[in-house]
Every structure is written in C-alpha cells, then in structure tokens.
Amino acid sequence: MATPEEAQVALVIAAHPDDGDFGCAGYAAQLAAQGWEIHFLVCTNGAKGTSDRNMTRERLIALRRDEQREACRRMGVSDVHFLDNEDGELVYDRRLLEQLVRYIRMLRPHTVFTHDPTDIIVRDSFINHPDHRATGTASLDAIYPTARDHLNFPEHLAEGLEPHRVREVLLWGSNQPNFDVDISTGVDRKIHALTAHVTQFGDREDFITFVRERWKAEDGRYLEQFRRIVLQF
C-alpha cells in the first residue's frame, strides 16, 4: 500500500485482453475506488482468441480491444494501453523489454501487477501460457534493474522519460501466493468486468458459476491471491 506521500498509481501488465481482469480486477477496482490511478497495458494484439472460423483477425483484434476498454470502465480503471505484439508469439527480447520500461518510466507506478512467470505448471491445474511467461519475466526485468538505471535505454532520457523505481510487485497465477485480498464485496464487479469479454465467454451461465467458485475460499470469502514483492531499495 502506498504511503500518502507516494503516488497512488498502479500498472497492470497483461499478455492478453482479459488476463488482467482474471488476475486482479477485484483488487484493482478496490484501489480505483480509493482514488488510485490504474493503468492497463496489454502486450499482445489478442488475435488468437476465437474458435469462430468466420471471424477475421482484424475484426477480432478490434473487438477484443473494445472489450478490454469496457472491462476497464467497469473496474474504474483510468486508462488502457495496447502493444501490438502478435498473440501466441510473444518472446522476451530487447524490444519487449524496451516497451515495458518505456511505460514504467512514463506512468511511474508505485505498484505493478503482472503474471507470475516462475513456473510452467500452476497448482497442477493449468499450464502457464508462453505469452504469460514472457510478459511476467520481461516485466520483472523491466522493474529491476532496467527502468531504474538511466544507462539502460538512454534514448528515453532524451525524450524526457526519467528512471523510475517501482515499490511493490503483485504477481497473479502464482504457486507461492503470500498476499490475500478479500474481494467478497467486489466479486460481482469482477465478474461484471470479465463478462465484457464477449468474444471469449461473455455472460454464459457456466462461466459465471466457474469463476465465482474459483475465487471462493474455504471460509466462504472471495479472495484474490498474489505473490507480493516489496522492493526496499
């Protein structure tokens, strides 16, 4: 949590449209309601998420961007930014690192949310998509050390982008969560945000039942769980 003298800005870095909503919509909406400025950055163009063979890729990209904008509006998120990397083909390279460092230096977040890239298998129940791993790894490297040191991507300085220190990192989809956020009062809002992704699942009843169960803890509360890293230096 940011102290009052620190900027209350959070950046959610997601591989695909809808990942950030699954990962942290409940907490992001809580922070937004407390006055935080929340930004979403989606690293790929979302060109792969359909089984509809009549859907054109251009139409899908445009629709999924609109869906992410609508989901963010429902969460109270201030702004959504899109990188145009190809869905399903994201690799961690200097280009991706530069893109993420640029947004961190531009938006100057206190907190960054992203994918936990540590493991390929998560909770023995899903495979961590390669785009998610590339996004998480590049985001962590961008946070430390790259965005902090003016000698990395020195061309940014000439554009007026100063080095920046992120203070807190929250990773979703982790095998080692150490930070629970009670989203019981906001779980409906999270589901409302998710259902904006009409091309993916929309408001199908089986989907809503599934997600509601997914965040329900044994004691009946709804939790988002993160691996939290507080950067002291």
**Site residues (CB under 5 A) for Zn ion?**
15-16, 19
Nearest Cα to Cα of residue 16 among 78, 53, 65: 65
Pick between residue 16 and residue 192 the one whose CB is nearest to Zn ion: 16
User: Closest approach of Cβ 19 to Zn ion, in Å?
Assistant: 4
Pick between residue 15 and residue 112 the one whose CB is nearest to Zn ion: 15
Bridge-partner residues for 158, per DSSP?
none
User: Closest approach of Cβ 1 to Zn ion, in Å?
Assistant: 27
User: Closest approach of Cβ 18 to Zn ion, in Å?
Assistant: 7
Which amino acid belongs to residue 208? Answer: I
Residue showing the smallest CB distance to Zn ion in the complex:
16
Pick between residue 19 and residue 67 the one whose CB is nearest to Zn ion: 19
User: Closest approach of Cβ 44 to Zn ion, in Å?
Assistant: 8
**Cβ–Cβ under 8 Å, residues 223 and 215:** yes
Distance CA 232, CA 28 (A): 23
Distance CA 103, CA 2 (A): 19
Which amino acid belongs to residue 220? Answer: G
Question: How is 197-217 classified by DSSP, letter by letter?
Answer: -TTTTTT-HHHHHHHHHHTB-
Pick between residue 9 and residue 15 the one whose CB is nearest to Zn ion: 15
Distance CA 175, CA 159 (A): 39
Pick between residue 18 and residue 168 the one whose CB is nearest to Zn ion: 18
User: Closest approach of Cβ 162 to Zn ion, in Å?
Assistant: 31
**Cβ–Cβ under 8 Å, residues 143 and 165:** no
Cβ within 8 Å of residue 162, ≥6 positions away: 105, 150
User: Closest approach of Cβ 132 to Zn ion, in Å?
Assistant: 6
Pick between residue 111 and residue 200 the one whose CB is nearest to Zn ion: 200
